[in-house]
Amino acid sequence: MKVVILKDAAAVAKYGANIFIKQISRKPDSVLGLATGSTPVALYKELIDAYKSGQVSFKKVSSFNLDEYLGLNPTHPQSYRYFMNQQLFDHIDIDKASTFVPPGDAEDPFTACALYETAIKQKGGIDIQLLGIGRNGHIGFNEPSSSLMSRTRIKTLTRATIDDNARFFGPDEYQPHLSITMGIGTILESKKVVLLATGENKAEAIKATVEGPLTAACPASALQLHEQVVLVIDEAAASLLSDVELYKHIEIENQKLLERLGRA
Ligand code: PGA
């Protein structure tokens, strides 16, 4: 697992955005896996800036979001479709018809889950998947105890996640307890994975992800099985790792090698 430890959240966003910009430069019709939550917002701002300065175009890009609340329609301000429009899609040249978010208002959500998997396959699979991480180690809405081979399905949110996300909902506003989420098996099939984490409240989940056993108790630990995963985290999120200096040393050596090969 590649672990890149940077000073702060701003550096994490920049580093993460650069990975996506390079990916799109190499493959203009890349299929991106995207995430919601507070952490990716700064990365999306970097992507918008890069688009506005002519550094990148999303014209041929398509995207699949990880998850959506079940029971919210796409125009609901707390829906993840609305979030993605606001935070990214409305500000870049992506064709909205090529952006996919699980349908929270599907009449038959079970069929919708199967169709989401099919749609990903029809696009040739996800080239690069962006992830945040919950304090409980969830990725997407794959809460602890999720099957490590799971596919897109309906998941009940844990109390911890409902409480963490309550800040986005008004006191009298309906907050869903169910979601549609890509499975851990779906995520593991993407060709590359970039997980971002910032802040001390993520330190335990990051330690369990990188150094803990492979366990459904920390769904993100399943990433240990992935061939190409990079964790981009700040000092605070890295603070419980057993050997921060080792990860920093590995990254410095990696960078030196890439520079020598002209691939930095
Ligand atoms: P956050 O959420 O970025 O708002 O902390 C991450 C997640 O729950 O995946």
Asked if residues 101 and 80 have their Cβ atoms less than 8 Å apart, the reply is yes
| pLDDT over 90, % of the chain | 95
* Ligand 1 atom with minimal separation from the 40 CA: 3
The tens digit of pLDDT for each residue in 201-223 reads 999 999 999 999 999 999 999 99
Among residues 68, 138, 164, 189, the one annotated as catalytic is 138
**Position 31: which residue type?**
V
Ligand 1 contact via 39 beta carbon (within 6 Å): yes
Give the pLDDT band (50/70/90) at residue 224: very high
The residue with tokens 């699980």 is 102
Alpha carbon of 45 to ligand 1 centroid (Å): 17
| Closest among 93, 96, 101, 128 to 20, alpha carbons compared | 128
The tens digit of pLDDT for each residue in 235-244 reads 999 999 999 9
Report pLDDT for 264. 78
Alpha carbon of 133 to ligand 1 centroid (Å): 5
* Ligand 1 atom with minimal separation from the 165 CA: 4
Q: Which residues are paired to 130 by β-bridges?
A: 194
Give the pLDDT band (50/70/90) at residue 98: very high
> Domain containing 240 — which CATH number?
3.40.50.1360
> CA 91 → CA 84, 85, 95, 99, 249, distances in Å?
10, 8, 11, 14, 38
DSSP sequence for 142-181: B-TT--TT--SEEEEPPHHHHHHHGGGS-TTS---SEEEE
| pLDDT over 70, % of the chain | 100
The tens digit of pLDDT for each residue in 172-199 reads 899 999 999 999 999 999 999 999 999 9
Report pLDDT for 212. 95
Known catalytic residue at 95? no
Give the pLDDT band (50/70/90) at residue 143: very high
Structural domain containing residue 50: 2-261
Known catalytic residue at 67? yes
Split into its structural domains, the chain has a count of 1
